[in-house]
Amino acid sequence: MKRFGIVLILLIISSILFAQAPSWPRWRGANGDGISAETDWNPDALASGAKILWDVNVGFGFSNVVAQDNRVYTCGQIKRVFTCFCLDAVTGAAIWSSKLPITVPWDIAATPALDGERIYGLGGDGTMFCLSIADGALLWKKDLRFDFKAYARTTEEWASSPVVEGALLLLNANSKLLALDKLTGEQVWSIDERVPRDSWGSYSTPVVCDLQGKRVALFEGASRYVAVDVSTGTAMWAYDHPEPDEIITDPVASGSFVYFASHAAAVVLPIASTLSTPVWTNSDSFTTGIATPVAVDGYLYGSHWPDSVSFVSDDWAGMTRHDFPFRCVDFRTGRVVWERTMKNVSVTVAGGKFLLLDVTGTLHIAEATPAGYKELGSADVLAGAKTSRRFASAPVLCAGLIYCRNYAGDLVCIDVSK
């Protein structure tokens, strides 16, 4: 009996530690907001340069990493083969890699999502798949075109990242908003979306939040912003937008409000709105291009995409040369509080600090405050290497390690542990 009690105590302790272990299970973190709850790391770690633990190549693509239980997962194109990787977080050694029967004339852009024993991903050709995290075995796959009658008109075809929500898998499939049974891939509900003839569609990933006892999924579609009751698949409201270019960034929910933006304009709406009056809308104080901003304590932070920027989002040479204003904006009014000229940056926040990865591969750590920009340290994550300077995804912090990945597939792990 005593032995049984000891075993039971150990199991309870193990379950608590497992539940509290740092993880980054999906695109932009557990809540899809770019914010990490992690505090056990050193914000001054870059003051004397980056301590690079390892650098491995995971193939071409923009797919970011997800992490849990000392493992890191991502997708890339190796010799034109779509490959999903599972790596040891500390050493970068491959635990497994899974080659998938996915056509890859397009870049691999979607970030996979983790859920317990499974990993979910999306290929540019519309193949939705589920793998076992134990060994990468294929559990199921679906085709967005043939199984759900969805279509895409974007440059990269499909690039929205899947979101696990309870028993469902949510996806912006461009011409459809989808909820699938995560265990089988079967459709639970769908909403048809209009893709105007002059629209390039949407890559945006849905964000889920709580509203009056309901779970609400916020989508940036090709022609409108939509709030959906997750349990029923009913559209609660929709707000038309005029953006003809590809929408890349995601909604940003904060309290009772949500920020939507594209190249052309931005709008803040009440999440429970009847949509008669936006809180504010503008085209000059804070619009975004490829990087979704973050909301911290009533302020938005991110790279503003000025009207003067004339190159398209896939003109990486132009983007590398161009400077952008990194701005702090009052969430409720749209007022610009401060700005700093930088390269276009992708943002993650942890412990009141910015992790800013610019398009050229420089990682900055700074205070996340409306009082002004105060940098704590910066470093070139490629340590001067002559390779691709095309960084489009935000840095990921998990268990005292920061992961940065470029288009060429260089995945760099930086130690910022205390």
Q: Quick one: DSSP state of residue 145?
A: H
Q: Quick one: DSSP state of residue 125?
A: T
Cα–chain center distance at 4: 44
How far CA 224 is from CA of 33, 91, 183, 313, 318, in Å, comes to: 20, 44, 30, 20, 29
Q: 175, 154 in Cβ contact below 8 A?
A: no
Determine the residue type at 369: T
Q: 366, 373 in Cβ contact below 8 A?
A: yes
pLDDT in tens, the chain (418 residues): 444 343 334 333 333 333 457 899 999 999 999 999 999 999 999 998 999 999 999 999 999 999 999 999 999 999 889 999 999 999 999 999 999 988 877 778 899 999 989 999 999 899 999 999 999 999 999 999 999 999 876 666 889 999 999 999 999 998 999 999 999 999 999 999 888 777 778 889 999 999 888 999 999 988 899 999 999 999 999 998 877 777 889 999 998 899 998 777 889 999 886 665 789 998 788 988 789 999 999 999 999 988 766 555 556 777 777 889 999 999 999 999 999 999 999 999 999 999 999 999 999 999 999 999 999 999 999 998 888 889 999 999 999 999 999 999 999 999 999 9
Among 185, 175, 178, 245, smallest CA distance to 206 is for 178
Q: Which residues contact 233 (CB under 8 A, 6 or more apart)?
A: 179, 188, 189, 190, 191
Distance, CA of 72 to CA of 259 (rounded, Å): 30
Report pLDDT for 9.
Answer: 40
Residue where the block lists tokens 């999906």: 26
Cα–chain center distance at 142: 22
Residue where the block lists tokens 């003051």: 47
Report pLDDT for 8.
Answer: 38
Q: Which residues contact 342 (CB under 8 A, 6 or more apart)?
A: 303, 323, 324, 325, 326, 356, 358, 364
Q: Where are the alpha helices (DSSP H) in 227-382?
A: 316-321
For residue 65 the two structure tokens come to 């990493």
Report pLDDT for 274.
Answer: 63
Distance, CA of 168 to CA of 382 (rounded, Å): 38
What does the DSSP assignment read for 47-113? TT---EEEEEE--BS----EEETTEEEEEEEETTEEEEEEEETTT--EEEEEEE----SS---PPPE
Report pLDDT for 20.
Answer: 55
Residue where the block lists tokens 């050694």: 93
